[in-house]
């Protein structure tokens, strides 16, 4: 990898503060920032001192000024020159051991720096260790801001103005996203199960940060996201480019849709805001298909957007893409899918991108997504599980007791999905009814069996219209067909004759369909002719016969 570190010019009076200069270098090393100190790094040079330090300031990204007792003409000149070159400046003043020994000219200089109009603030310190901590904190904050500024210079999201027709069409798409994903999925989930605050850890090593190719970033391992920090705040922090990881049932899709809700609200307030659109990667089955072609097809199939318009919206960066289910792409196609996403982002540019994937499947990939950041959802804690069950009331007292006594059940409940199913299925159960299943497999089987029983009971007479085994058989058949076609959702309009298992079934379907259409056309023709609604006989070649209609369909 070819990269360039951020560079800092450290200025101080040569005859003092050697331990403090070492402390600054140590702090910068921890952040993977190069620190240049004249006293240590200048070496022998065949040029004037002023020329040497001016060249180093010119090549630096940040100036750090270190002051204590002595006044130095070169030190003050370095400070002034850094200001003239519009370098960011951090000032540190040692307060210990002054005892009236500070040069009056230096004090006057520091007093001048402290004035509000300079825009500078000196941080005071007493010991080298105190200085090291202060510099590390300040330089890390500056570094973060610097990286954000660099990203901003490279942001490709520069939408052209919207005309009235395009604004109307985008508003229609926004309404579809809100109606289906926010109101139809997220809010129904919240209404039924509530919304747990999920712990989140940053996972910077999970993605290829686009700036790593030119800039060595500090190594930041996994660390906890501050409690209460929303996914939309995380999304904004990483410049609208994030990967969401987690275990099965950990809440990845719910987290994604929580972000969608906020982005929909933004788009409603700001007409020029890109429209958030959810796509499920399960249907990406052809590794040779480009992502933009797949997106256009999905916009047409799932959102009824004409392909020509969908293509224009992608090219003009009108859409903010939220891609769920990377782990549900076929295993041997998954890496190609990641490469396709990376290629699309690089060639087309995006106003925002979110991808969801199970942690295990993502870690198996030989290639990483090129995104600005990643988070991993943490399993629920014992306290979260207990509080969630407790708020459901006395009907779940048995489950609450069982969770405290049964480690297998408790581990299963660390998944928000499984905990929600437990609260639905085990309502009214005593702790003794939940005992005796010592393996995760037996626990899971019992949970799903109990949940299915509950769903049949809740449907009442409607569930009795078909025998239970027949219903389960058809549901299993639909599940198999969805799996065969790499589909995550069942939509009735997707039910096609090709789903039938053999030629005889398909032939019977076509024959029956043709017969029904033929009868209907007969009634239509009778009504049409009988009403005298025509002025000339219809020619034979103007009619579509049933078998022709079948072919066209």
3-state secondary structure 100-165: CCCCHHHHHHHHHHCCHHHCCCEEEECCHHHHHHHHHHHHHHHHHHHHHHHHHHHCCCCCCCCCHH
Q: What is the domain partition of the chain in residue ranges?
A: 7-154, 164-377, 382-476, 503-552
- Three-state DSSP at 354 gives strand
Q: Are 211 and 5 in contact (CB under 8 A)?
A: no
pLDDT at 193: 74
Q: Are 354 and 244 in contact (CB under 8 A)?
A: yes
Whole-angstrom Cα distance, residue 219 to residue 31? 7
pLDDT at 525: 42
Whole-angstrom Cα distance, residue 389 to residue 382? 11
CATH of domain 7-154: 3.40.50.10140
Whole-angstrom Cα distance, residue 429 to residue 59? 71
Whole-angstrom Cα distance, residue 80 to residue 39? 19
Whole-angstrom Cα distance, residue 278 to residue 303? 10
* Distant-in-sequence, close-in-space partners of 535: CB < 8 Å, separation ≥ 6: none
- Overall pTM > 0.85: no
- Three-state DSSP at 94 gives strand
Whole-angstrom Cα distance, residue 408 to residue 358? 22
pLDDT at 23: 94
7-154 against 164-377: fold identical? yes
Give strand pairing partners of 202: 223, 375
CATH topology for the 164-377 domain: Rossmann fold (3.40.50)
Handedness of CA 52, 57, 59, 65 (dihedral sign): positive
pLDDT at 146: 74
Other Cβ atoms less than 10 A from the Cβ of 195: the count is 14
pLDDT at 521: 45
By DSSP bridging, strand 200-202 and strand 373-377 are antiparallel
Q: Are 73 and 150 in contact (CB under 8 A)?
A: no
Alpha carbon of 427 to those of 277, 392, 441: distances in Å?
Answer: 37, 9, 21
Alpha carbon of 199 to those of 111, 186, 224, 260: distances in Å?
Answer: 46, 19, 8, 19
Per-residue pLDDT of the chain (553 residues; tens, 9 = 90+): 234 568 899 999 988 999 999 999 999 988 888 888 876 766 555 567 788 888 889 989 899 999 999 998 989 999 999 999 989 999 999 999 888 889 999 999 998 887 756 667 789 999 999 999 999 999 888 887 776 666 554 444 555 677 888 889 999 999 999 999 999 999 988 887 778 889 999 998 899 876 554 444 444 567 888 888 999 999 998 889 999 999 999 999 999 999 999 999 999 998 889 999 999 998 898 888 999 999 999 999 999 999 999 999 999 899 999 999 999 998 899 999 999 999 998 888 788 999 999 999 999 999 999 998 899 999 999 999 999 999 888 899 999 999 998 888 999 999 999 999 999 899 988 888 888 777 888 888 889 888 888 888 876 665 566 777 887 787 787 777 766 665 556 655 566 666 666 555 555 545 554 544 444 444 444 444 444 433 333 333 333 333 222 222 2
Alpha carbon of 282 to those of 178, 329, 331, 337: distances in Å?
Answer: 21, 5, 11, 11
pLDDT at 338: 96
Whole-angstrom Cα distance, residue 71 to residue 412? 67
Angle at 411 between CA 409 and CA 415, to 5 degrees: 105
pLDDT at 339: 95
Give strand pairing partners of 124: 93
- Using H for helix, E for strand and C for coil, what is the string for 421-440? HHHHHCCCCCHHHHCCCCCH
Q: Are 426 and 457 in contact (CB under 8 A)?
A: no
Whole-angstrom Cα distance, residue 396 to residue 394? 5
* Distant-in-sequence, close-in-space partners of 157: CB < 8 Å, separation ≥ 6: 274, 317, 349, 350, 351, 352
pLDDT at 99: 84
Whole-angstrom Cα distance, residue 476 to residue 487? 14
As a whole number of angstroms, the longest Cα–Cα distance in the chain is 115
By DSSP bridging, strand 223-224 and strand 200-202 are antiparallel
Quickly tell me which residue has 């100036």 as its tokens.
63
């Amino acid at each position: 990898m070819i990269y360039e570190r951020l560079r800092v010019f450290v200025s101080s009076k040569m005859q003092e503060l050697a331990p403090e200069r070492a402390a600054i270098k140590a702090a910068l090393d921890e952040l993977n920032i190069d620190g240049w100190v004249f006293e240590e790094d200048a070496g022998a040079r065949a040029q004037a001192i002023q020329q040497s330090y001016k060249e180093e300031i010119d090549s630096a990204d940040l100036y750090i000024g270190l002051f204590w007792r002595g006044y130095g003409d070169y030190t003050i000149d370095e400070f002034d020159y850094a200001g003239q070159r519009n370098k960011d400046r951090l000032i540190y003043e040692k307060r210990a051991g002054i005892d009236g020994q500070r040069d009056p000219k230096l004090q006057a200089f520091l007093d001048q720096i402290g004035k509000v109009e300079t825009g500078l603030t000196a941080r005071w310190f007493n010991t080298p260790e105190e200085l090291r901590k202060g510099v590390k904190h300040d330089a890390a904050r500056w570094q973060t801001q610097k990286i954000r500024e660099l990203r901003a210079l490279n942001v490709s999201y520069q939408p052209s103005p919207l005309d009235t027709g395009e604004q109307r069409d985008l508003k229609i798409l926004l309404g579809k996203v809100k109606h289906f994903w926010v109101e139809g999925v997220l809010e129904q989930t919240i209404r039924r199960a509530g919304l747990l605050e999920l712990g989140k850890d940053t996972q910077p090593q999970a993605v290829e940060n686009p700036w790593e190719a030119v800039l060595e970033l500090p190594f930041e391992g996994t660390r906890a996201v501050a409690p209460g920090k929303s996914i939309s705040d995380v999304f904004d922090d990483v410049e609208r480019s994030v990967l969401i990881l987690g275990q099965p049932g950990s809440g990845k899709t719910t987290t994604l849709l929580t972000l969608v809700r906020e982005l929909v609200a933004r788009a409603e307030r700001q007409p020029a805001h890109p429209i958030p659109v959810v796509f499920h990667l399960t249907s990406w089955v052809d590794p040779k298909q480009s992502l933009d072609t797949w997106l256009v097809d999905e916009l047409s199939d799932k959102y009824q957007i004409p392909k020509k318009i969908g293509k224009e919206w992608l090219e003009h960066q009108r859409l903010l893409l939220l891609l769920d289910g990377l782990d549900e792409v076929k295993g041997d196609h998954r890496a190609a899918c990641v490469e396709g996403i990376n290629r699309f982002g690089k060639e087309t540019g995006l106003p925002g991108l979110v991808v969801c994937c199970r942690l295990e499947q993502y870690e198996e990939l030989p290639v990483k997504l090129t995104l600005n950041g990643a988070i991993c959802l943490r399993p629920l804690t014992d306290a979260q599980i207990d509080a969630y069950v407790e708020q459901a009331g006395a009907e779940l007292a048995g489950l609450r007791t069982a969770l405290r006594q049964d480690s297998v059940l408790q581990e299963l409940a660390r998944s928000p999905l499984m905990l929600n199913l437990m609260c639905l299925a085990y309502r009214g159960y005593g702790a003794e009814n939940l005992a005796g299943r010592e393996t995760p497999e037996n626990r899971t089987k019992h949970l799903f069996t109990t949940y299915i029983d509950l769903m049949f009971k809740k449907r009442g007479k409607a569930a009795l219209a078909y025998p239970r085994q027949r219903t389960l058989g058809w549901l299993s058949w639909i599940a198999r067909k969805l799996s065969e076609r790499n589909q995550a959702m069942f939509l009735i309009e997707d039910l096609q004759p090709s789903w039938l298992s053999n030629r005889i079934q398909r032939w019977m379907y076509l024959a029956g369909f043709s017969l029904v259409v033929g009868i209907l056309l007969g009634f239509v023709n009778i009504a049409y002719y009988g009403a005298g609604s025509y002025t000339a006989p219809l020619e034979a070649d103007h009619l579509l016969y049933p078998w022709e209609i079948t072919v066209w369909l």
